[in-house]
Structure 1
Amino acid sequence: ELYTFPASSEERDGGGLSSAPGISQVVGDPDAVWPAHNPGGARNARSHTHANARPRRRRHIKLSHEEAFFLVHDAQVLRIRSDTPWPTDFPGAPPSASATYFDTEALWRVLCSTNDRESFACHYAAYRHYRAKGYIPRSGLTFGSDWILYAAHPQVAHSEFSVLVIP
């Protein structure tokens, strides 16, 4: 069962993934996002499906471009689809005009064309580097930086470092 996380106008104004034209996020299991999105989580994730389970409420999540690409490319728990038909000459368009989901390469082109290409690549490289080191990067916008790094979930630990990416 797929859960769709539509982009509201409020989310579009916030500059998350939904600010790219015609994109909404789709994930196979919303509970898989947190374990796979955090260090060691994919190995420890358990299935939450039960025969008598009640239908789940839709959950709205907001992902940065870097978080979304990480979940698509590295964790492989997120698929992103286009809600609108793409012109064939658009740099990030899927290979066929009728394609529903973006492959990794097409998504990379969309995110690089939505942002400054060098800037997105540098920010994603920093995001991925700190994820590999075991940190949980979160937006550092309110602190005047690109990323704030947490050693554990942000609700149980204070951030240890602030990162400024200079492309």
Structure 2
Amino acid sequence: MAPRWKWKGAEAKAFAEPISNTVSELQSSLSQTEASGFLSSCNVLLSVEPEQAELLDRCCFGRPVVCAEKNKRWIQLTFEEAFFLFYKLKCIDKISLQSCYLENEVDLWRSMRSFKPNFAMFYKAYSHLRSKNWIVRSGLQYGVDFVVYRHHPSLVHSEYAVIVQSIGEYNRLRVWSDIHCSVRLTGSVAKTLLVLYINGKVNTENMNLPLCLDDYTVEEQTIRRWSPELSREDETRT
């Protein structure tokens, strides 16, 4: 599926400003200041400077929260986004939970898993896509786990609707009717269904450490609706 650009000139703008370059710029900016956040049961609120808020928006991390402060901006991050910024990009210095600082990845990992038991699987899927420079956003409005964009959503429509699967533990596509519904829905909004199978045998003790991510593998599988008209012989031929 070719990218569906939203306006004339969007493709040229995307090539002129690669996401990888913007992420590097974000890393450099946040590393020079002390970025801190607050962990709740469902998200992380990050406090940053206005310039850094603009970079986060260009990289599509989080969503801005309206506030009256002029010199500070608040960004609402999902667990996956916050941990990626903290653990992978080293952009966040500390995150607090109930007045206690979580200054290392182990404490943050355990806290997020306590609120979201399947966090390890979803973070593995998120980081897998982000590491390939895809923009990853929530897929709730399409009935999937994520939607991914080739570049900023203001420039291009999302190409894939992503469902995260784990054999034997977390399986949304149990029967054929589940697959059929997902394919029909994603097809109606011009997206390809991408299923990420998160596999691996993880030691129970390692589940409390982010090192367990190394025990997982990610298998990608796209599912498309078959159209008989594309394969049928030309009836007018004699």
Same structural fold, with TM-score higher than 0.5 when normalized by the shorter chain: yes
CA positional deviation for 1:58: 1.6
> What's the CA shift string for 1:63-103, capped at 9, x where partnerless?
000000000001111133325345xxxxxxxxxxxxx3421
Please name the residue that 2:43 is paired with.
16
Please list the CA deviations of residues 22-55 of structure 1 after superposition, one character each: whole Å capped at 9, or x if unmatched: xx535588617836x849xxxxxxxxxxxxxxx9
Q: Does 1:73 align with 2:96?
A: no
Unaligned segments of structure 1, at least 5 residues: 18-23, 40-54, 87-99
Q: Which amino acid aligns with 2:122?
A: H
TM-score, normalised via structure 1 length: 0.62
1:107 is aligned to: 108
Q: Specify every segment of 5 or more residues in structure 2 that has no aligned partner in the other structure, as ranges.
A: 1-32, 61-68, 167-238
Larger radius of gyration: 2
**1:91-147 per-position Cα deviation (integer Å, ceiling 9, x unaligned):** xxxxxxxxx34211110111111111xx11110000000011120100111111111
The letter for the 2-side match of 1:151 is R
- CA gap of 1:104–1:27, structure 2 versus 1, over 3 A, is farther
Check 1:4–1:82 CA distance in 2 against 1; reply closer, same or farther (3 A cut).
Answer: closer
Change (3 A) 1:68 1:58: same
Contact 2:126–2:136 (Cα < 8 Å) also in 1: yes
Q: CA RMSD in A?
A: 3.2
| Correspondence 1:14-93 to 2 at 5 A | 15-17=42-44, 24-26=45-47, 31=52, 34=55, 38=59, 57-82=71-96, 84-85=98-99
Q: Percent identity?
A: 31
Q: Is the 8 A contact 2:36 2:93 kept in 1?
A: no
Whole-Å Cα distance in 2 between the matches of residues 38 and 110 of structure 1?
26
Say if 2:155 is the partner of 1:131: no
Sort the Cα spacing of 1:32 and 1:25 in 2 relative to 1 into closer, same or farther, 3 A: closer
Read off the aligned partner of 1:104 and give its amino acid letter.
Answer: E
More strand by share: 2
Q: Deviations over 1:136-160 (max 9, x none)?
A: 1001111111110011011111101
What is the distance in 2 between the residues matched to 1:113 and 1:104? Answer: 14
**2:52 maps to amino acid:** D
Q: Which shifted more, 75-84 or 137-146? A: 75-84
- How many equivalent pairs are there? 126
